[in-house]
Amino acid sequence: MVETGLRPLSTTLSGIFTNFEANIHIMENYICENVFVPLRAGPSHKTEMLSQILFGEKYSVTDKAGSWIKIETFFDKYQGWIDMGHLQHSPVEESSGGRVLNRSLLCYKNDKTKLVLEPGCEIFNPDFKAMGFSAGNNKYTTGGEFSDNFISTNDTVTDLAMKFINSPYIWGGRIPSGIDCSGLTQLVYKIKGIPIPRDSWRQSEAGKTIDFIDQAVAGDLVFFDNEKGKISHVGMILSRGLVIHASGRVRIDSIDHQGIFKAEIKDYSHHLRMIKRIIS
């Protein structure tokens, strides 16, 4: 056998992941540096995607299993498993969150590769004159316009929600290119600087209860239960008689004291359980 000096690819990759895993420590804090990373129910791609960690969001490591780590997010205290094979991150000190984007932002990493960050992603130390920002230990430059308008908004929560019309529904999604019902309401309130829990049943525990649908105002959250009586869906009141929610896609439907009336099926698709006011 001729010695070539080259190591098999599988051996090389094994060494890379072994070193990578060795650098991840339980109870240490990190920051996500990919557009998003799937957060799964278990240490396997076959388990459901519970949620996503967005660029700039921070988390702590709570457990390890092979090439997977279990984490808890700073923003909403959500727990799940991340595959380290596609994770891009930097260690960080535990500190406050970054500035939340309200629109898509084209940027470039140090190696000149491109990222398109979506609304809800967080950036740090924005420098509009230098056209850049930081995240973790890395610096990023932006392409095209970059101003405070990307991270400040006078839009109402309903104005923001309307920007996600027709975004496709994806279970566990938190970004405009794929979002679920509670991901939509959480994202809209996050952009407005108001943190609410991730899941719809947790969101139903926040805010002030409104007794009647006729008392609901724009921005109120409306919750719906399933046949077992458990909260399983959430939407946002746009105006009297109209709700925006993610069901198949982000859409607008009619709502009354019974629930959501879906015109194409000429029937109610969701049964109203409660109304909550997040903004006083």
Instruction: Give the Cα separation of 180 and 171 in Å (integer).
Output: 5
Task: Tell whether 170 and 273 lie within a shared domain.
Answer: yes
Q: Are 64 and 26 in contact (CB under 8 A)?
A: yes
Looking at the domain assignment, is residue 46 inside a domain?
Answer: yes
Task: Tell whether 222 and 177 lie within a shared domain.
Answer: yes
Task: Tell whether 134 and 185 lie within a shared domain.
Answer: no
Q: What is the pLDDT of residues 255-276, one digit of tens each?
A: 999 999 999 999 999 999 999 9
Boundary of a domain, candidates 91, 115, 142? 91
Which amino acid does the sequence have at 210? I
Looking at the domain assignment, is residue 239 inside a domain?
Answer: yes
Task: Tell whether 162 and 268 lie within a shared domain.
Answer: yes
Task: Tell whether 164 and 119 lie within a shared domain.
Answer: no
Looking at the domain assignment, is residue 14 inside a domain?
Answer: yes
* CATH code, domain carrying 273: 3.90.1720.10
Say how many domains are in the chain: 3
Cα dist. 8→4, 14, 15, 99, 105 in Å? 11, 10, 11, 44, 39
* CATH code, domain carrying 67: 2.30.30.40
Looking at the domain assignment, is residue 240 inside a domain?
Answer: yes
Looking at the domain assignment, is residue 22 inside a domain?
Answer: yes
pLDDT at 224: 98
pLDDT at 13: 37
pLDDT at 3: 40
Read off the pTM.
Answer: 0.89
Task: Tell whether 163 and 252 lie within a shared domain.
Answer: yes
| Residue 177 burial class via C-beta count within 10 angstroms: exposed 0-12, middle 13-18, buried 19 and up | middle
Task: Tell whether 115 and 185 lie within a shared domain.
Answer: no
Task: Tell whether 105 and 20 lie within a shared domain.
Answer: no
Per-residue pLDDT tens, the chain, 280 aa: give them: 444 444 444 333 334 344 445 577 788 889 999 999 999 999 999 999 999 999 999 999 999 999 999 999 999 999 999 998 876 777 787 667 799 999 999 999 988 999 999 999 999 999 999 999 999 888 999 988 999 999 999 999 999 999 999 999 999 999 999 999 999 999 999 999 999 999 999 999 999 999 999 999 999 999 999 999 999 999 999 999 999 999 999 999 999 999 999 999 999 999 999 999 999 7
Boundary of a domain, candidates 45, 74, 91? 91
Could you list the residue range(s) of the whole structural domain that residue 68 is in? Answer: 9-91
Task: Pinpoint the alpha helices (H) of the chain.
Answer: 9-22, 157-162, 181-191, 200-203
Boundary of a domain, candidates 91, 117, 133? 91
Q: Are 64 and 186 in contact (CB under 8 A)?
A: no
Nearest alpha carbon to residue 213 among 245, 235, 190: 235
Task: Tell whether 185 and 272 lie within a shared domain.
Answer: yes
Task: Tell whether 116 and 214 lie within a shared domain.
Answer: no
